[in-house]
Chains A and B, each alone.
Chain A
Amino acid sequence: MSKKQLFFVRASVRAVQLAVLSMSALTLAHAQDAAELTKPVNSIEVGVVVTDKDSFKFGEYNDLQKKGAHVVGNIELNGGDGATRYKLTGDAHGFGAEYGSQGLFKVTFGYDEMHKYRSDSYMTPYLGVGTDNLTLPASWETNRKACAISSTSSGNTNFGGASNATAGTAGCGNYYVNANATTGNKTAAPVGNAGALTDAELAAFALTPLQTKRATTNLGVSFNISPQWKISARNRYEEKDGTQAIGQAIGGAAANSVVLPNPIKYKTNQLELKLNFAAGPGFAELGYYGSIFEDQIKSLTYQNPWFSSATPSVSSSGAVTYPYPDAGRFATAPGNEFHQWYLTAGYNFGNNTKLVANASHGRNTQTETYLPAGTVSAATGTTPTTWVVPRTNLGGEVITTDYSLKLTSRPIRSLNLLASYKESKRDNNSSVASYTTPFNPQDGQIAVTNFPYNLAYSRDLKQGNVEADWSFSRGQAVKLAYETLDVNRWCNGMPASAASCVNASDASEKSTRVEYRNAMWETVNGRISYVNSERTASTYVSNVSYYAGDLLTRFNMTDRARDKVRAALNWAPTETLDFSVTYEDTKDSYTLGRNPTGNLLLGLESMHSTAWNLDATLRLSEKVSLNAFYSDEDMSSLLRGDGASNTTADTNALNAVAGGAYWSVDMRDKVKTWGLNLRATELMGGKLDLSAGYLSSRGTSPYAVTAASYLAYSSGALPTLPAQTLTNTLIRNAVPGFPDTYANSDAINLTAKYVYTKNTTIKLSFLHQKYSSADPAFYNGLQAGAVNAQAAPSLSTSGVSATTKVNGTLLPANSVFPYSTLFPSNEQAPNYTVNAIGLGFVYSF
């Protein structure tokens, strides 16, 4: 061989070697690829999120409520061999672990924390936050003047002689008898300022975060005893701690309201055990569910900020003003237990016919020891002898029983049949006794209520349903359903002489549903359904009134007609384009008169809600997709109230002169939500994923209050009233409008994920969120207390108009603190603009 030939031989040998090597390498690479592609990925992520503002609402559930840097992290580790596997997960709020042999057993364990931030503007002068005893600082005026309005003056004959220029009791804050009046009684002069908060008292108000934390521990075990038998157990233990706001009525006869920092220390322990059997056509499950709740704080005692040691006085009109207690106390949620056994069994008869039956029996008990009925006040600390508390605890027991039977069948491929029956009963066997105690003794009230029995509410629901679904041609189907629901309500243990405790002891509802579905065309499918329900209450009694002056018009027990329409249409003209629209319309009409006179409707009269949803998805390529949606909800409820006293004479008298004694409010919630999302994946050779999103929500709640008034007064001189002789009758002028409530939000979200190396990914995110809201709940009353009793404070959607700030908040220094008002707490409606930038590194292996 020549040198040249030798060269070619050597080259060819090398080529073969390389080819063989290449073949091996490719096979190996393929095997490695396959291994990588089929092996669960482990990952560790660490990062930081930086926010530029404090906002409890922004961080309500995500722990980003404070400005600054927040460390985030995630971990997922998978391992094991064969059927035995484990998985460990964790993040900044908890962790989870799972270990088991698939098909044989599994053990899971986890811990998770969830914070809820409720307010970052709440202020309180109370000391001892977090304990069960709240005290006021030494600077607090301990014998605040009891301020009450005398009703004896009669210097003005306007408004039927009602209005007069009487000001508050000497030493109290301002009182305006009628702020809207244009006559001389509009602005009664202040006669003192002892009702106002002092500088020392204002300085005692301190910011107190309102937040709670749920810490949950989960443990689960399951074991397959055999292919037919399986047993499992799950325990969930949760502790909820923190502080929430709670209102309390305390003070004078007209009840002041103070917003307290309420300590929360709940423990809830839930256990579920199941034994399952499945063999051939039959299956069954026997189970136990138990839930034990305990509140470690049994009561909250608090000093009365309106305390007065004045002796009881009787005004010339006979109204009695009692000395206010020096402290109040309320009972927290009582500890309780619920134990339930249940059995489910089913059988497949073949031919696609199946019967499933369920039965459950639950026992709910509560035996928390009662607190003393009296307050802790020196004046009323000892329970008066006229008060009777017949037991030391309720001896509460509620038995819940549920039975259901469901038969489904598909006798032919195009026909589905369903018949079901369910009974659900709540039988309250708690003790019933006469509790001759006051309605609210903290007001200084000592008279007992006129109806002393506690009510052990019970009910029984029986529900039947038949349904047929027939595909009558290719792509077209119709469904017909008929349902009955009978409800029986009662109270156990009542004396035979007692009236029924419910407005209607029986109600029956019948519903008919029809639905049509069409999927005839490859690119279009849709459905529309209509439901009509008629609920009839057999004997509706409107004036169920166990407590003084409490007329009940319970809407959930009365006649109701409901019509419901739902429709959906989906159009996918190409594989990359998809449109859908859905519509829901529900109308409720409450048709039974619930006025004592029997001919007029009071309470909730009707409800109507509509919801439109539009959605479009476009796949621009395999890597780029775009989604847009729009939702429009409009909900309204019409409520009618009785503006007069309940005497027929008064009602008729008002009806005779004008549009009646009634007022109404049309409550609406209008919410529009829209969003746009763009997602691009595997850019830059598969290294970069991008997503961008915009979300906007506009929620407004206009409440239109109108009154049927014979005084069409809005401004100017007051008209002269017609000559009427009305006793205790209201005279009103209609002023339209209730302050709009709204909550608007806009959010822009950008994320990028870049595969830096084979094992390392960098994540970058940006979130801009703006939130604005207004709510009359947060108007001046909370910021400043009521500036005075009846006169309207200067309201604005942003809070108080006063500029003087205390402790850097909006609590104005000129806040007054009169009798009959709301204790200031400075809570604000949430408004924020927050930017958050996140950077994270993910290591995968």
Chain B
Amino acid sequence: MKRSANFWFSPTVALRCVALVAVLLGGAAGQAQTKDLVLKGDAKCTKCHDENDNAPVLAIAKTKHGVQADGRTPTCTSCHGDSPTHVNKPDGVKDRPAPDRTFSKNSKTAVQDRNQACLSCHEKDSSRHQWAGSTHETNDVACSNCHQVHTGHDKVRAKATQAEVCYTCHKTQRADSHKLSSHPLAAGKMACSDCHAPHGSTGPKLLVKNSINETCYTCHAEKRGPFLWEHFPATDDCTNCHVTHGSNSPSLLKTRAPFLCQECHQDHGAGLKDGSGVINSTGTPAINVVTPGATYGKFLSVQANGRKCVGCHVMVHGSNHPAGAGLTR
């Protein structure tokens, strides 16, 4: 009994107990966050959601959404809702209910509700003026399908990685980017958003300008003219001859000359209009033509070889030479 009394009431035992509590408290201090770390009121979230979570949250501080000095900065609940049942799990419920609004791929939150969480602030941005009724909006694309909010580097906002995000849905364009001819997306020197406005636009195909040609001229202004001798398909629509994402023909052409040109041009004297001189795999003309009185020679080399039609009619986008009606000068 004496020994027992010594044990329970001895100063060493008391100190040991204090030490144990202190250690436990110290540990608890490491586990339970009672102070906001990034956003106003985030303590109730970060006490559970730390960087070991499946969806790390603290990196939001590295983004514009984490700048508290900006009075417009949202809180966790601005986007996810107050989520009372998620914060305080109701008794008798096996699994903790999800927050009011979630943004993962398999979220149960309706896309329009997810997007409204973003648009409540961002709808005022001029780039979002055309969102309503845009191709992405009407196809149930959620902001979070493309954007990552809880990370310092949002892939879709970086030129080098943006295409990778777009290819998640636009898989044919991913294949196109590996064809013989393509824009320099794979090298990270160009982004999809250089041509497309993913949040809506006044142009077709979500293009950044009012028309296809206006968009192309932002980088290819030398094709804009107006020229003295215009080539109407070129001024009408670049995509009459070109594809935009990738082609097995050079210069992003739809098909190869001379046939591409012959889609519209039926006459070019003997030899060109009929495909003569087009060589086959054995090197003989695919269509052997003999025309009384004609000169032979240019067709084999000029039509199938080298720059083909553009070997002579090089100003296919228009010529400004007074003797350039044939688009040769």
Contact = CB atoms under 8 A, between A and B. Distances in A.
A462 to B, nearest CB: 14
A484 interface: no
B266 A553 contact: yes
B249 interface: yes
B92 to A, nearest CB: 24
Contact of B180 (A274, A397, A743): A743
**Chain B CB within 10 Å — which of A293, A333, A344 has the most?**
A333
A12 B295 contact: no
Interface stretch (A197-205, A438-446, A754-762): A438-446
A1 B83 CA distance: 58
Interface string A514-537: 000100001000000000000000
A430 B226 contact: yes
A27 B30 contact: yes
A193 interface: no
Interface stretch (A18-26, A47-55, A132-140, A835-843): A18-26
B300 A85 contact: no
A458 to B, nearest CB: 9
Contacts of A268: 221
B301 A695 contact: no
Nearest to A435: B322
Interface string A367-385: 0101111100000000000
A665 interface: yes
A418 B138 contact: yes
Contacts of B326: 439-440, 547
Contacts of A24: 26
Contacts of B129: 283, 285, 344, 346, 356
B297 A642 contact: no
7 contacts: A19-B18, A39-B62, A354-B132, A400-B210, A603-B262, A793-B283, A821-B302
A163 B290 contact: yes
Nearest to B299: A790
B80 interface: no
A103 B70 contact: yes
A162 B291 contact: yes
Nearest to A664: B275
A37 B37 CA distance: 10
Given A179-B284, A283-B129, A15 B274 contact: no
Given A402-B202, A794-B283, A615 B221 contact: no
A780 B210 contact: no
A368 B227 CA distance: 10
User: Nearest 3 CB-CB pairs, A to B?
Assistant: A781-B305, A23-B26, A789-B297
Contacts of A584: 172
A334 B320 contact: yes
A179 B12 CA distance: 113
A5 interface: yes
Contact of B300 (A259, A642, A789): A789
Interface of B: 10-12, 14-16, 18-20, 22-23, 25-27, 29-30, 33, 37-38, 51, 54, 56, 58-59, 61-62, 64, 66-67, 69-72, 106, 112, 124, 126, 129-130, 132-133, 138, 140, 152, 171-172, 174-176, 178-180, 184, 186-187, 189, 202, 210-211, 214, 217-218, 221-230, 232-233, 235-237, 240, 247-250, 254-256, 259, 262-270, 273-302, 304-308, 310-315, 317, 319-326, 328-329
Contacts of A26: 26-27, 29-30
Given A18-B19, A553-B263, A556-B236, 20 more contacts: A5-B12, A12-B14, A22-B26, A60-B184, A328-B329, A331-B321, A338-B224, A344-B202, A374-B323, A394-B320, A400-B210, A402-B211, A424-B210, A439-B326, A553-B264, A556-B240, A611-B172, A637-B255, A643-B274, A739-B281
A406 B130 CA distance: 9
Contacts of A374: 323
Contacts of B227: 334, 366, 394, 396
A223 interface: no
A476 interface: no
Contact of B226 (A37, A103, A428): A428
A336 B221 contact: yes
Contacts of B26: 19-20, 22-27
Interface stretch (A305-313, A730-738, A806-814): A730-738
Given A103-B70, A730-B291, A245 B175 contact: no
Given A149-B296, A741-B248, A291 B126 contact: no
A131 interface: no
Contacts of B284: 179-180, 735, 792
Contacts of B66: 38
A739 to B, nearest CB: 5
Interface in A155-181: 159-163, 175-180
A40 interface: yes
Nearest to B270: A730
B138 A467 contact: yes
B287 to A, nearest CB: 5
B171 A671 contact: no
A179 B294 CA distance: 15
A418 B312 contact: no
Interface string A253-269: 11111010000001010
Contact of B323 (A283, A438, A789): A438
A151 B295 contact: yes
A106 to B, nearest CB: 10
B323 A440 contact: yes
A821 B266 contact: no
A602 interface: yes
Chain B interface main SS type: loop
A83 B67 contact: yes
Contacts of B14: 12
A22 B23 contact: yes
B290 A178 contact: yes
Contact of A502 (B25, B179, B232, B286): B232
A16 interface: yes
Interface residues of A, number: 226
A327 interface: no
Contacts of A30: 29-30, 33
B269 A549 contact: yes
A76 to B, nearest CB: 9
A344 B198 CA distance: 17
A247 B138 contact: no
A11 interface: yes
A738 B61 contact: no
Contacts of B15: 9, 12-13, 15-16
A673 interface: yes
Contacts of A624: none
A655 to B, nearest CB: 15
B202 A404 contact: yes
Interface in A789-804: 789-790, 792-795
**Chain A CB within 10 Å — which of B70, B126, B267 has the most?**
B267
Interface string A421-443: 01010101010000101111110
A84 B64 CA distance: 11
A38 B38 contact: yes
A358 B273 CA distance: 45
Given A293-B224, A418-B138, A356 B290 contact: no
A648 interface: no
**Chain B CB within 10 Å — which of A16, A641, A642, A792 has the most?**
A641
B307 A820 contact: no
A730 B266 contact: no
A37 B236 contact: no
Nearest to A700: B248
A549 B30 contact: no
B259 A703 contact: yes
Contacts of A371: 321-322
Given A553-B264, A732-B289, A786-B297, A330 B329 contact: yes
B192 to A, nearest CB: 16
Given A701-B256, A735-B280, A780-B305, A671 B126 contact: no
Given A356-B129, A439-B325, A739-B281, A790 B178 contact: no
